[in-house]
Structure 1
Amino acid sequence: MYDFHTHFIPADVLTWLKDNQRTVNAKWIKKEQNKDDFLVVNEKWGFELKRAFIDPSTYLAAQEQAGVSHSVLSPIPQLFMYDFPDEITADISTVYNRSLTDLCKATPERLSALGTVPLANPVKAAEVLQEAMQMGLKGVIIGPGLDGRMLSDEFFTPFFEEANRLKAIVFIHPLLCEDPRLKRRMMPNLIGVPWETTVCATDLLLSGMVDQYPEVKILFAHGGGFLPYQIGRLDKGFEQWDLVSSKLKAKPSEYVKRFWYDTVLWNQDSLDFLIRTVGEERVVPGSDYPFDLCVWPPCGKQETAVRSLLD
């Protein structure tokens, strides 16, 4: 069984955080006696720094116990660092990508990885993507955009042109939604995270980028958010409004089959619906391990989808 959605923080990245603690405002906070420290960077989205995040032996033992034969590791979204100057983001990207490469080379039969890029500088992001794939990484994980910029904006053209040339996997992972209505009852994580994916995925679909960059393998986290469930509404809009249909060669329900999605849904009926909507060859196993809301072990083998994404 593969796991396409799982996160890890190598030792060199932790060293970088400690060396640059003041620059990025990194804090290790003890919240409860029976839990590990929480890591908070720049007063944003904190999380418990569990041993499985940072210790390879702990991670690999959990992988074996869960029956996962191969994991595709990703950097954690809290360390994308998009809100810092380019040199900071580029520096941690280089450290993260090299250390993940070393980790995968040590156990290639059990691990491969995606890198991270300084997305706020798309030209530099394209260079870092090329370097990452030359080192052996499968592609990169990125956020759903930047403040005031959607991924379909021309601003990101240099990055997507290079990803298209390299036939890279681009795993789009949400960040916490800043909607002030959600600042209660864990709603930023419960519905804000899939909502960010929904907005990004819908915009990419309607923008015509799938035709513009047909070789980019776009993978959406958490089953694509709410997009698959609302695809009928997009199809109706396609029939109704030129603003929806003008950049598309087919209706949205056809384009939704040209992305990939993970199985992090926690509900078999939802997963079954996703597979019926986009096809089994587009849904890959994922867990989000070792975050709190992980599906562990991941659901299903989805061997057809694994081959279609990796090939």
Structure 2
Amino acid sequence: MYDFHTHFIPPDVITWLRDHQKIVNAKWVRKEANKDEFLIVNEKWGFELKQAFIDSQLYLKEQEIAGVSHSVVSPIPQLFLYDFPDDISSEISSVYNRSLAEWTKTAPREISALGTVPLTNPDKAAQILQEGMNLGLKGVIIGPGLPGQMLSDEFFTPFFEEANKLNAIVFIHPLLAEDPRLQRRMMPNLIGVPWETTVCATDFLLSGLIDRYPNVKVLFAHGGGFLPYQIGRIDKGYEQWKLVSSNLQAPPSEYLKRFWYDTVLWNQESLEFLCKAVGEDRIVPGSDYPFDLSVWPPEEKYRKGAVSLLG
């Protein structure tokens, strides 16, 4: 069994955070007596720093107990640090990537990894992507864009050109939405996260970016958000409006099959719908472990998707 959506924080990254605690405004806060400390960086996206996030032996043990034979480990979105200067996000990217690459070499059958890059500086991001893949990483995990900038913007061209050259996996993972309408009842996590993926994935698809960079293996988190469910509406827009169809060589529903999607949906019928929409070879098992909202253990099926993405 594979797991393509799982997160870890190596000891070197924790050390870096403590060494740069004031610069990145990192806090370790005990919220409840029976829980681990919460890690909060720059007053955003606090989460419980469970031992499985930071203890490599525990992580591998839990993986074995769950029956997962191989995990693709990713950095956590809370540590992308896109809201800091390039030198800060570049430094933590290098530390994170080197640490994950070293870990994978100690257990190559059990784990491989994706890195992180300073997306605010696409030239530097391209360089760090290359360095990480030279260390043995399979690609990177990135956010769905930056404030006021979508991934389809020319600003990100240097990064995607390098990813295309390297046949890299680019795992697009949302950050917590800051829409003021969602700031209640856990809605940033419940619907804000898949909504961010929906916006990013729809723009990415309609931009024709995948035709420009056909070797980039784009993986969307959480089953692609709401995009697969609304693909009929987007196909209709393709028939109706030049503004929708101008960058595409086929209907949007055909492009939908050129990305990969994880199984983090918690609903079998939703997963079956996704499979019909994109094909079994475009779906990969994922859990989001060890976050609270994880599908643990991950879905056992969809080996074809795992093989096609790693191949």
TM category (shorter chain) comes to: over 0.9
Which residue of 1 is the match for residue 269 of structure 2?
A: 269
TM-score (norm 2): 1.00
SS at match of 1:45: strand
Which residue of 1 is the match for residue 19 of structure 2?
A: 19
Which residue of 2 is the match for residue 5 of structure 1?
A: 5
Which residue of 2 is the match for residue 85 of structure 1?
A: 85
Tell me the CA shift for residue 300 of structure 1: 2.3
Which residue of 2 is the match for residue 103 of structure 1?
A: 103
Alignment of 1:165-244 (within 5 A): 165-244=165-244
Cα separation, 1, equivalents of 2:15 and 2:36: 18
Tell me the CA shift for residue 302 of structure 1: 1.1
The amino acid across from 2:45 in the alignment is: W
Which residue of 2 is the match for residue 119 of structure 1?
A: 119
Which residue of 1 is the match for residue 258 of structure 2?
A: 258
Q: Deviations over 1:205-261 (max 9, x none)?
A: 000101010000000000000000000000000000000000000000000000000
Which residue of 1 is the match for residue 73 of structure 2?
A: 73
SS at match of 1:171: strand
Cα separation, 2, equivalents of 1:73 and 1:308: 17
Q: Deviations over 1:50-104 (max 9, x none)?
A: 0000001111111011000000000000000000000000000000000001111
Which residue of 2 is the match for residue 45 of structure 1?
A: 45
Cα separation, 1, equivalents of 2:51 and 2:58: 7
SS at match of 1:291: coil
Q: Deviations over 1:246-299 (max 9, x none)?
A: 000000000000000000000000000000000000000000000000000101
Q: Deviations over 1:143-184 (max 9, x none)?
A: 000011000000000000000000000000000111100000
Cα separation, 2, equivalents of 1:181 and 1:305: 36
SS at match of 1:5: strand
Q: Deviations over 1:102-121 (max 9, x none)?
A: 11111111010000000000
Which residue of 1 is the match for residue 128 of structure 2?
A: 128
The amino acid across from 2:306 in the alignment is: V
The amino acid across from 1:55 in the alignment is: D
The amino acid across from 2:232 in the alignment is: G
SS at match of 2:44: coil
Q: Which runs of 5+ in 1 are unaligned?
A: none
Alignment of 1:156-167 (within 5 A): 156-167=156-167
Q: Deviations over 1:26-71 (max 9, x none)?
A: 0000000000000000000000000000001111111011000000
Which residue of 2 is the match for residue 140 of structure 1?
A: 140
Q: Do structure 1's residue 303 and structure 2's residue 299 form an aligned pair?
A: no
The amino acid across from 1:39 in the alignment is: L
Matched residue count? 311
CA contact (8 A) 2:222 2:265 kept: yes
The amino acid across from 1:282 in the alignment is: R
The amino acid across from 2:307 in the alignment is: R
Cα separation, 1, equivalents of 2:300 and 2:153: 35
Tell me the CA shift for residue 307 of structure 1: 1.2
Tell me the CA shift for residue 301 of structure 1: 2.9
SS at match of 2:266: coil
Cα separation, 2, equivalents of 1:168 and 1:108: 18
Q: Which runs of 5+ in 2 are unaligned?
A: none
CA contact (8 A) 2:144 2:172 kept: yes
TM-score (norm 1): 1.00
CA-atom RMSD, angstroms? Answer: 0.4
Cα separation, 2, equivalents of 1:164 and 1:64: 34
Moved over 3 A (4+): none
Which residue of 1 is the match for residue 292 of structure 2?
A: 292
SS at match of 1:218: strand
